[in-house]
Structure 1
Amino acid sequence: MARPPKLTLPLRDGVAASALACPPGPWPLVLDFLAERLPLVTRQDWSERMGRGDVLDDQGQPLPPDTPLARCQGRRLYYWRWLENEPQVPGEVRILHQDDHLLVADKPHFLPVTPKGRYVQQTLLTRLRRMTGLADLSPLHRLDRETAGLVLLSVQPQHRDAYQRLFRDRCVEKVYEAVAPDSDGLPVPLKFPLQLATRLQEHPVDFMQMQTVDGEPNAFTQVERLASLPGGWARYELRPSTGAKHQLRAQMAHLGLPLKGDRIYPVLLPVEDTPDFSDPLQLLAREIAFTDPVTGAPRQFRTQLRLEAALDVHPSHRPDRRLDP
């Protein structure tokens, strides 16, 4: 018997339904299966959710707590993720552009892009789905939880791959801004603009980190020093042409210029249950430009956010450079 097609279910408080295959097994009840397969939610909590109608079968029918597993074997179950003690992330999500194909938003520091681990409601995607009611919103690229700035999302599933191909084929011009130690304090002076070409790979022990190793470069970034800041800091413009994990953070740390507020580079610090929201990573996705693959129109967006540490700049600062025409 063919499995029914995947259901399209409405959002619940901005959260899309998750699907889970229900295999044959020794569990008497669906409740027993859920409690063992997804143990981050207690059996009592699953029972309460099923009692509220928050667990459905592949026909969209609610499953009460006493549902026998045999009824759902080989079929999909649907539920909505919800965490009781989710950390509250400060900061406002701003929609900078929205049309039938594309949505561009400003993400504050500390807000994850998509639901994962300890975060469901406190994510950019959930907040935007709640704001717009668009269940098919999907991020087109990655941005670290600690990084603030521009994030692009597709509005319709049929256009998602065309936009993501722009990032895969390096057809997107991205500009970041960062605050790091002033390069004047380095033992060997750096000449800007600096063209970085390094090879990054995951650290064999500290999996959160990327490390610079010998070999063919896979991460390319142009670095420009923009301005001196008080306290021995400086403001930098970073133009990556590739999108390796933690590329900008790892490369700047490799230069001896780790970003202000970075808890991963150069030293991986312990994960905090509640982040210190007063000391954000000073990295901002500032500008992005590309040719729209759906409409053919040129696109250029600039964040409305500013790095806190860069607000009080030295009087001799240079003005921000716009994207090259």
Structure 2
Amino acid sequence: MRRKKSTKPRPLPPRDGLGASRARLPGDRAVTAFDFIARVITEQRYRHPDDDAHAVMQRFDAGEVVLRDGTPLRPDDLIEPGTDVFFYRHPAPERPVPFDIETVFEDDYILVVNKPHFLATMPRAAHITESATVRLRRATGNEELTPAHRLDRMTAGLLLLTKRAEHRGAYQELFARREVRKRYVAIARDAPVPTPTVWTHHIDKQPGELVATLQEGLPANAETHVLARAPIDAPSLQAVHGVVEPLACYVLEPVTGRTHQLRVQMCAAGVPIVGDPLYPTAVSGGVEDFRVPMRLAAVVLEFTDPLTGRGRCFGLDACGLWG
């Protein structure tokens, strides 16, 4: 039985779209709270250049370094190993993603949006403020707004967010139990991929690795229904991506939700998604070209609403996505 996620308030509430960070002291030696937080911030890979010792002390002066029960810490308080400490991080400056988030539907419980390419769903690694969660919290003033599922940063399309903490678990469990029908469209070269068909694979994605891999001889943990393939006439899209081969639109319904599932399976079928920076070959790091997105989008979300019992179906015009 899946354990229900707790909605217990965190020791520090979200602020300016961001939740507080949690750090746990490792090792076997107590250190002062100031030394611990200063070390944590110094070791952050993505931090603001002005987040120095003075900025750390300002957090203590404001009572914004606290224990799990909300007790504020003084700079010279000793922290024992295994103790959780909460504080607000100062994100590094980020390159703005030059696309808007479009509202598709909103009621008292949920917000459904069309997330653009290049925008992360949740704050992570180098993408903190340039995430759908932070942008929407700041735009709406609702610090409880939280995604019920995730889309890859490079994937566009329908994203459902809950508006109140007390409703969050019901919708997140809906996705976790695979009770949401999801449909995607992908653009790739036109090839004789049979449709309809079902792709099943064992996909493995190790922490810290950029790409996922298919593992032979292991039980399938990823399933996708390939519903249709339709040739498209898109000379402008071909020109943007430097593609000369004829293109087609593939309609995909994933049953499972492994990381990079559709991208890996399309590549394995010999039709990698146009604009994919990882499959079949990882593109070396550099400044991303926002004019050249990966052509994958979530276009349908369909489910029975866990709060109202009504059927819900949200959709995007797939034909209008690749103009």
TM-score, normalization: structure 2? 0.80
Identify which range, 252-261 or 78-87, moves more after superposition.
78-87
Aligned residue for 2:198?
A: 195
* Unmatched segments (≥5 aa) in structure 2: 1-7, 235-243
| Counterpart among 283, 291, 294 of residue 296 in structure 2 | 283
Structure 1: 5+ residue runs without aligned partners? 184-188, 312-325
Partner residue, 2:241: none
Q: Does 1:140 align with 2:148?
A: yes
1:207 to partner: Cα distance? 4.8
Count of paired positions: 297
Structure 2 residue 212 is the aligned partner of structure 1 residue 214: no
CA distance in 1, matches of 2:297, 2:148: 17
Q: Which residue of 4, 13, 16 maps to 1:13? A: 16
Aligned 8 A contact 1:262 1:281 in 2: yes
Distance 1:18 1:109 in 2: 26
2:272 is equivalent to residue 269 of structure 1: no
Distance 1:125-1:70 versus aligned 2 partners, 3 A rule: same
Counterpart of 2:105 in structure 1 is 97
Which residue of structure 2 lines up, in the alignment, with residue 229 of structure 1?
233
RMSD: 3.1
Q: In the alignment, is the contact (CA less than 8 A) between 2:30 and 2:78 conserved in 1?
A: no
Identity %, equivalent residues: 35
Counterpart CA distance in 1 for 2:56 and 2:207 is: 40
For 1:115-126, what aligned pairs fall within 5 Å after superposition?
115-126=123-134
- CA 1:79–1:95: 2 relative to 1, 3 Å: farther
Rounded Cα–Cα distance in structure 2 between residues aligned with 1:54 and 1:113: 30
Contact 2:185 2:297 in 1 (8 A): yes
Corresponding residue for residue 274 of structure 2: 260
In 2, Cα distance between the equivalents of 1:120 and 1:261?
A: 23
Residue in 2 that maps onto 1:56: 65
1:81–1:120 Cα contact (<8 Å) kept: no
Equivalent position of 2:54 in the other structure: 47
Q: Closer, same or farther in 2 for the Cα pair 1:281/1:290, shift >3 Å?
A: same
Structure 2: which amino acid aligns with 1:31?
Answer: F
1:210-255 C-alpha deviation (Å, 9 max, x unpaired): 3252333222222211232344111111111221221111111011
CA separation of 1:82 and 1:133: change in aligned 2, threshold 3 A? same
